[in-house]
Amino acid sequence: MTTVEMTYQRSVKVWWSYTWRLLLLLIPVSVVLVVANLLLMLWIAPLPPRAVPLPHMMHSVKTLYAVVPFGLLVAACAQIIALRWALRVRWSEFRLDAVTGD
């Protein structure tokens, strides 16, 4: 296996490969999380008929604390999947391989 220098052009190719794959995964995940958050807020803390008092708003904000850790976990999983997906790509002049540190 021949090693090549990681130039800026190659670095941009790797970065772009990872970025568009991550966006492809995170856009539908984000839509699902936003809808789930709205449904959770309406189920746990439905809107009052008139004005929204401060305690009610604080209760709605507390529901975010249930969704944010789940969203961070899902985002981390999406990043791992996108990175593995990008690392399997073979560009025209190079590919990335994991090697031991001998």
Higher pLDDT, 13 or 41: 13
Give the model confidence (pLDDT) of 23-76 as tens digits.
999 898 888 878 877 777 777 666 565 655 666 566 666 667 777 788 888 889
CB 25 within 8 A of CB 82: yes
SS3 track for 40-96: HHHHHCCCCCCCCCHHHHHHHHHHHHHHHHHHHHHHHHHHHHHHHHHHCCECCCCEC
Range in 11-25, 60-74, 85-99 the model is least confident about: 60-74
What pLDDT band is residue 80 in, cutting at 50, 70 and 90? very high
Q: What is the pLDDT of residue 45?
A: 62
